[in-house]
Amino acid sequence: MRLVKPSYSILSIMNQPPISPLNLIEIAGRACYGLNNKITPDSSAKFAEMILKRGHESVIEHSAMTVKFIIDRGVSHELVRHRLCAFSQESTRYCNYKGGVTFVIPPWVKLSENSNEYDEGTAIRLNPGDTWDDESYVWTWQMYRAEQAYLKLLDLGRSPQQARSVLPNSTKTEIVVTANFREWRHIFKLRCDIAAHPQMREIMIPLLAYCKEIIPVIFDNID
């Protein structure tokens, strides 16, 4: 059994040098007004800020971003509800976890990655600094039991798509998401909100902060 923390990596931001995402948005947006002659080397950020203030967000659909998430399947079920995205997700029908199942540690479980090893008698060893409270024990024990049930079904001749029925929401999944900037703004507004699921906020808030660093203007007014 392997335990991991949720993570993300940005695979691609739509641009073709020397055209940056903001340059592309400005070129597309100014076509609406016949003002391409107004483009200067430093005008893109101001133009993007202007169209966002006016609510003309269809223009930012011309640029897109692709992100790979490592999250649990419960969080992925919420993520795929966003309609205007392309999704490619790890399939429990075809992936065979006979070498061991990977689970994503919830934020309320005080364990570090790869922190648990089980002997034949289910002895549990923790890494220094981990806290073995009642909640962490209950969660980890259930993950262990789920893994053992899954592996037993494989041993009995069941296929991965049949054995997966015993796997919990905490099972790790990898999912690649592509969406235009307008949809990413929508995702961040919903999934970083205080009312969003804690595990969704755990991954989306850092992603939003990083996007603010590397993509000027587009996400600056989202908290």
Six-digit token string for 9: 């990596």
Instruction: Report all structural domains of the chain as residue ranges with CATH numbers, in order of start.
Output: 12-70+179-214 (3.30.1360.170), 88-172 (no CATH)
**Structure confidence by residue, pLDDT tens digits, 19-48:** 899 999 998 888 887 766 778 888 999 999
Dist CA 124 CA 159 (whole Å): 29
Dist CA 111 CA 170 (whole Å): 14
Mean pLDDT over all residues of the chain? 91
Among candidate residues 101, 145, 123, 147, the one with its CA nearest the CA of residue 4: 101
**Structure confidence by residue, pLDDT tens digits, 84-134:** 999 999 999 999 999 999 999 999 998 888 766 655 545 566 777 787 888
Among candidate residues 191, 180, 188, 177, the one with its CA nearest the CA of residue 80: 177
